Chains A and B, each alone.
Chain A
Amino acid sequence: MLTGTGGQGLILASIILAEAAVNDGKNVVQTQSYGPEARGGASMAGVIIDIDNIDYPLVTRPDVLLAMSKASYRKYLPAVPAGGLVIVDSTFVDGPYSSDHRVIHIPITDLAREKLGRGLVANIVALGVVNGAAGLVKKQVLAASVLERVPKGSEQLNLRALELGETLYV
């Protein structure tokens, strides 16, 4: 479950992750929240990756939560089962963090600004962190999926963003 604020690019990140998982040979469903929240409030995109067929298509109990805003952290954390992986962008979400979950807190957006000069690619950095920590798809498959979706001219920047994300979680 990738959550944050409308405009952070999390829906695009979810589509990239979903397409990578499809190319990795998995069954995948990608969904997103709409309505007012898509215009500035808490935004949520869900990706279900399974070896079996997927019956219910909406994410109800995420194994992995990415929270890139305070509002989305508060709103979606209760859905994560105890022990679940929670990745927090500490640029926006202060601690103390949940002690019931495996929390990774990294200032993702600050690091995107500092190391890449563009806060805009924080979504791809976050995607790198998520995949690095959760091991959802093969690295090279995810990189190929990023290249297929990002605007022309921004390929190298986005690849560096993905690599940065992957190295942030070691």
Chain B
Amino acid sequence: MSNLSQTTHIKIEILIRIIKAFLSDDFEEQARLIPYNMRPKGMEVPYRCCVYKERAIIKDRTIAGLGFPIEEDDETVSLAKYAKQALDRTEISDKNLTVLQAACKGCATNRIYVTDLCQGCVARPCQSTCKFGAVSIVNGRSVIDESKCKKCQMCIKECPYNAIVKITVPCEDSCPVGAIKKDETGFASIDYDKCINCGRCTAACPFGAVHERSQIIDILKAIKSGKKVIAMIAPSIVGQLPGSIYQLKTAMIKAGFFDVYEVAQGADVTANNEAKEFIKRMDEKQSFMTTSCCAGYNQLIKKHLPEIKPYVSDTKTPLFYTAEIVKKENKDSTVVFVSPCVAKRAEVFENENVDFVMNYEELGALFIAKKIQINELEETKYAKEPSKQGRNFGYTGGVAEAVKKSLKDEDLVKPCLINGLNKDSIKQLNKYAQTGECEQGCNLVEVMCCEGGCISGNSTINNQKTAKKLINALSETSEDIKKV
């Protein structure tokens, strides 16, 4: 995507307003006013039928921004009350996504549909090709009986007028594991037993109906109360905000963080450990090993693909090792992971060394609310400079390369890449698990849930190409990873 979508634009604007409200001297009242300030009286209505509906939708989005599930809102509770509840809460939920169901109304259900372009032809290839007897002719035109239709799409292929279309529900279509569905009532909902938190639906929905439940208020609260709040920034953050990552550190300290660590530092540990483990497994005559740093992939293994577990590296993620270092060096600290995706929220929920997650959009919103011009600031060094390969962890191919470069004999590694989890690549992984073997004699499978790697995580704001270029520009200045 070359330009930021309107839905993301609105979500970020709401986050900025929530943060500004928190920083004001009357959080509750300012939170209540967000829909009115965004859609003031007399304003031209940009998207929906009237200003009142616009405000109602913005209120729902603000509820998610304050960290609550929209589905449970009964419409009687004011944003002021929600703001108060956000201040009072002491725990976060493991359900990371929430759906603004009011937006689902505009979205037709998944089906095969004969449009007005049907000419009522004599040949009727749609009818003769259908193996399920779902196509009949009513008033000279083809009609599909949905109770019989298996959505095989043969009629679409056969129609010489291109009159038959597949109507898709974008969130359902985007989900690699069938966890989000429009139910009988026409509302989409998420099945958390299946959801791998890949966040693809948040980006796919054209109404912007799927929201992350933000922890921004919890983080701001910790900062305000004077706690030592330490941020760990993922390698994929490079290029997602203006300026260099050294200016970014200055900006984050200005925004109230006590210190900032690069997770690329932990990526070096992951790569080294994974390299040692790789040698061991190859010595034990295992035919291949997969990487284990992607949180979306780890959720997939747990919920859908336990068969591949024996082949998955036991090495921990860069987030894990970085958090260990942070906690060791700062005993009484609150730790925030700055993340490209929802999936890491799930990982953090299970990691006792990390307290909260904020994504790139939220961090950007914080800088905007605090009027911090990152690219005009001085640079601050990090306590430890990560390696070139550690800094390249966030794009496809980076992890496998780091493992390879960690070995004295680099030629031992024959990598292959699962670049993005989808129905096909999940099948492929399943095949590897069943046969115990990988294609073309490859022995290290790098798995990235997002196509392109973390640089295309659901909360990234730059395009892949530019982001990768900027990461490379930084990593070129870094030293090679140490060998094991």
Co-complex (A, B): no
Q: Residues of B at under 8 Å CB distance from A? A: none
Q: Residues of A at under 8 Å CB distance from B? A: none
